[in-house]
Amino acid sequence: MVRKKLIAGNWKMNCLTAEGTELAKAVAAQVKAEKLACDFLVCPPFTLLGAIKKCLRGTKIALGAQDVHFADKGAHTGDISPLMLTDLGCSYVIIGHSERRVDHFESNELIKQKAVAAHKAGLKTVICIGETGAERDAGKTIKVCQDEIFGSVPEDASAQNTVIAYEPIWAIGTGKTPTAADVEDVHAAVRAALAKKLGKATANKMRILYGGSVKPNNAAELLNLPDVDGALIGGASLKADDFVAIARNALK
């Protein structure tokens, strides 16, 4: 099964207008020049979505947000609806990132509800899962990831509208990564859980990204594993050279 790799940048709460547009323009120019055979996605903060959309015009780089509310509109102070995201030109949204699950107490049920609403609005979702350091030390990695798949991936998920991102929480922003063998084991177990939930055909087509301290120097090892279909990149997505270097290494 050939799954096209997806190289996704999660800018998190970084960049004001000048810095963000400069970064997006640099990424756009490099991606255009190199014609790399993967899909690209950048997810800036809400405040920059409109400005970055303009920078990506004429490129194949998709625009995504980092979170979404499940309602189309209404009395939800401070929240952003799926329709607001499509209105701004987003085609993707990250849902259930560990920084949302932990800092904002988001449950599997809420994440599933958001994913259903996003799909209804025509957005593709990147649904994040991953274990804490303590869960890993207790040997619970695969159980935690499979439970998150069963709990937060909606029944309407398809290979077209959903991407999974496996991000061990202890690897995010720490410079630490699991071994390549551990990553492959978890991804294979996640795919097995997806097969149980959505059927084998869908699971075989669905992309499963790895995230957590992906850098140009570890990209080739982590991203060419059989069940790894791309990367969700935080810190290194804030440097155009590093972001594109990761994409190059994902294809070796």
Residue of minimal Cβ distance to ligand PGA: 234
Residue at token pair 């804490």: 132
Query: Closest distance between ligand PGA and the C-beta of residue 131, in Å?
Result: 14
Query: 208: Cβ–Cβ under 8 A, 6 or more apart, which residues?
Result: 163, 164, 165, 166, 187, 190, 191, 194, 227, 228, 229
Which residue in 7, 115, 232, 240 binds ligand PGA (CB under 6 A)? Answer: 232
The single-letter code of the amino acid at 70 is: F
Helix (H) or strand (E) holding 212: none
Question: In this chain, which stretch among 45-53, 77-85, 152-160, 205-213 interacts with ligand PGA, using CB under 6 A?
Answer: 205-213
- 10 binds ligand PGA per the rule CB under 6 A: yes
Which is nearer to ligand PGA, 85 or 172 (by Cβ)? 172
| Beta strand pairing call for 162-166 and 207-211 | parallel
Positions 41 through 100 that interact with ligand PGA (CB under 6 A) = none
3-state helix, strand, coil in the chain (%, to 5): 50, 15, 35
Residue at token pair 């709460």: 13
- 167 binds ligand PGA per the rule CB under 6 A: yes
> Which sequence positions are flagged as catalytic?
97, 167
Query: 3: Cβ–Cβ under 8 A, 6 or more apart, which residues?
Result: 205, 206, 207, 229
Helices 216-223 and 180-198, axial angle in degrees (round to 10): 50
- 178 binds ligand PGA per the rule CB under 6 A: no
How far apart are alpha carbons 191 and 152 in whole angstroms? 14
Task: Count the site residues for ligand PGA by CB under 6 A.
Answer: 13
- 212 binds ligand PGA per the rule CB under 6 A: yes
The single-letter code of the amino acid at 189 is: A
Which is nearer to ligand PGA, 44 or 212 (by Cβ)? 212
- 213 binds ligand PGA per the rule CB under 6 A: yes
- 233 binds ligand PGA per the rule CB under 6 A: yes
Q: Which DSSP state fits 238?
A: G
Query: Closest distance between ligand PGA and the C-beta of residue 155, in Å?
Result: 26
- 177 binds ligand PGA per the rule CB under 6 A: no
Binding site for ligand PGA (CB under 6 A): 10, 167, 172-173, 211-214, 232-236
